[in-house]
Amino acid sequence: MQKVRKAVFPVAGLGTRFLPATKAMPKEMLPVVDRPLIQYAVDEAREAGIEQMIFVTGRGKSAIEDHFDIAFELERTMSDRGKDLSVLEPTRLGPGNCAYVRQQEPLGLGHAIWCARDIIGDEPFAIFLPDEFMVGKPGCMKQMMDAYNQVGGNLISVLEVPHDKVSSYGVIAPGKAQGNITQVMGLVEKPKVEDAPSNLIISGRYILQPDVMRVLEAQEKGAGGEIQLTDAMAQMIGKQPFHAVTFDGDRYDCGDKAGFITANIALALARPDIGPSVKAWLKTINLD
């Protein structure tokens, strides 16, 4: 079983749902409390043992590259003033630990992943959708990596949702289950409630074998006129081991304004330094 050393972060999206905040700033740089979304995803990858981060970017995304670079002037000023530099340690990615490729056309998630094919090579790899903010101990990818070490093949993270909510998500058709690992027999994108094969939705974390790149290369456009990753994964079911890992933790859809605000409040409340103040303020609000 080949080790998963690389992860792809598709971050080329325009972030139109957060305009005008994202006119000049990538949506992945929006902060949850005091760290940008992309930093949380990278931290999750590191916890899972990922060694190389591959960012698939687009125009106007240079702030992401700057964030993971050394800010010499800032660090020199902080050092001269006796300030603690450890807060910046997670933001440093050396040349051997990161790579950037450009998605020149907005042709969908599947196309964005395919853009990283030369760096991935013939290795299994992880995928992180930073908008899907996953909070757990251990993190979502670490839980998936533990499952990968048991079953190998391809894995996706899933969450249970109420049955009446399934039509908003991609849903798996489940097979045999053992603990938090479920065999995937099929994938259905946004099914009608009455047609949904389960209430287990795909939630933005993947471990895929390199064969998916060859599938994507030959794949035609699907829903929305885009090359869909879900369509490519569906072609691999039955040909390679394919499982879902039910994530033990909380998910916040930070591609949605309400989800983003909820994530900020939840993480603020969990922080010992600011949680008591936020909780005290919330008690003063008349929610009616």
Give pLDDT tens digits for 250-282: 999 999 999 999 999 999 999 999 999 999 999
Torsion of CA 136, 140, 146, 148, to 10 degrees: 170
φ/ψ of 170, rounded to 5, equals -80, 135
Give pLDDT tens digits for 101-123: 999 887 889 999 999 999 999 99
Could you state, in order of their start, the residue ranges of all structural domains in the chain? Answer: 6-283
Torsion of CA 234, 236, 242, 248, to 10 degrees: -40
Q: Given this model, what pLDDT does residue 223 score?
A: 60
**Please, what is the average pLDDT of the chain?**
91
Q: Given this model, what pLDDT does residue 224 score?
A: 62
- Give 222's pLDDT tier (boundaries 50, 70, 90): low
User: What is the DSSP code string of the chain?
Assistant: -----EEEEE-----GGGTTTTSSS-GGG-EETTEEHHHHHHHHHHHTT--EEEEEE-TT-HHHHHHTS--HHHHHHHHHTT---GGGGGG---GGGEEEEE--S---HHHHHHTTHHHHTTS-EEEE-TTEEEE-SS-HHHHHHHHHHHH-SEEEEEEE--GGGGGGSEEEEEEEEETTEEEEEEEEES--GGG-S-SEEEEEEEEE-THHHHHHHHPPP-GGGS--HHHHHHHHBTTB-EEEEE--SEEEETTSHHHHHHHHHHHHHH-TTTHHHHHHHHHT----
- Give 225's pLDDT tier (boundaries 50, 70, 90): low
Angle at 265 between CA 260 and CA 268, to 5 degrees: 120
Instruction: List, in order, residues 6 or more apart from 100 with CB less than 8 Å away.
Output: 54, 55, 57, 65
- CATH no. of 6-283: 3.90.550.10
Cα 152 to chain centroid distance, Å, stands at 20
Whether 285 shows a pLDDT value over 70: the answer reads yes
Give pLDDT tens digits for 13-35: 888 899 999 998 999 999 999 99
Give pLDDT tens digits for 36-84: 999 999 999 999 999 999 999 988 889 999 999 988 899 899 999 999 8
Tokens representing 68 are 């993971």
Highest mean pLDDT of the ranges 125-134, 197-206, 234-243? 125-134
Torsion of CA 211, 214, 218, 222, to 10 degrees: 50
Q: How far apart are the first and last CA of the chain?
A: 56
